[in-house]
Amino acid sequence: WLEKAPELEKYADLYNVILVCPDGDKTSWYFDSPVDDSMKYETYIVDELVSKIDKKYDTVPNAEYRAITGYSMGGHGALYLAFRHSDIWGAAASMSGGVDIRPFPLQWDIAKRLGEYANAPEAWEKHTVINLTHLLNGENLDFLIDCGVDDFFYNANLRLHQKLLERNIPHDYIERPGGHTNEYWRNSIKYQMLFFNDFFQKSKEQTK
């Protein structure tokens, strides 16, 4: 991330936050694989990483002061984990996220994590972000979706946005010119840090 956006170090100081960037492997998709016991990334993040950070650093260990984001596969992972664990993250964001994996049955080793789509369609349906909106009640998570109109994931992000509108689930949505590029993500993170800071400040006001 520091290679993509060196200003992150400045943002950490500006907003007084700790930024944790775990290695999610290039094809983990941040869920627990039902077919590969070595790929348990939801368990890793939820049960191990968060508690380790809270023990090691001076954090405020509750959801109102914790956020998650990512780009591409990490964008899917951020929303997947936040939708499923709003008790851990109070805010989330995705940039250029693969929020619907079903249109890509032959790409990015997803079949190695879930089984081939033709043989395991239920697993694909269960592990894709766009099918998890039923976990949202409009109050348990603040989140932002951001994707460039030239991105190959744009259609999936737009469909997720429309589904959320139909279900009256509050969220922020950004689309602008740009593709699946470092330049796009470097710009996105600037707005996401502000989004998260606003959320944290709101949490502070509510606890006074």
Into how many domains does the chain fold? Answer: 1
Please tell me the distance from the alpha carbon of residue 89 to that of residue 65, in angstroms, as a whole number: 8
Please tell me the distance from the alpha carbon of residue 99 to that of residue 206, in angstroms, as a whole number: 31
In degrees, to the nearest 5, what angle opens at C-alpha 99 toward C-alphas 93 and 100? 170
Segment 26-44, tens digit of pLDDT: 889 999 999 999 999 999 9
Please tell me the distance from the alpha carbon of residue 27 to that of residue 85, in angstroms, as a whole number: 21
With a CB cutoff of 8 Å and minimum separation 6, the contacts of 205 are: none
**Which residues span the domain enclosing 89?**
8-207
Tell me, yes or no, whether 109 lies in a domain. yes
**% of the chain residues with pLDDT over 90:** 92
The CATH number for 26's domain is 3.40.50.1820
pLDDT (0 to 100) of residue 170: 97
Q: How many helices (H) and strands (E) does the chain have?
A: 8, 4
Segment 46-84, tens digit of pLDDT: 999 999 999 999 999 999 999 999 999 999 999 999 999
Tell me, yes or no, whether 108 lies in a domain. yes
Tell me, yes or no, whether 1 lies in a domain. no
Tell me, yes or no, whether 88 lies in a domain. yes
pLDDT (0 to 100) of residue 148: 98
Mean pLDDT value across the chain: 95
Coil, strand or helix at 51 = helix
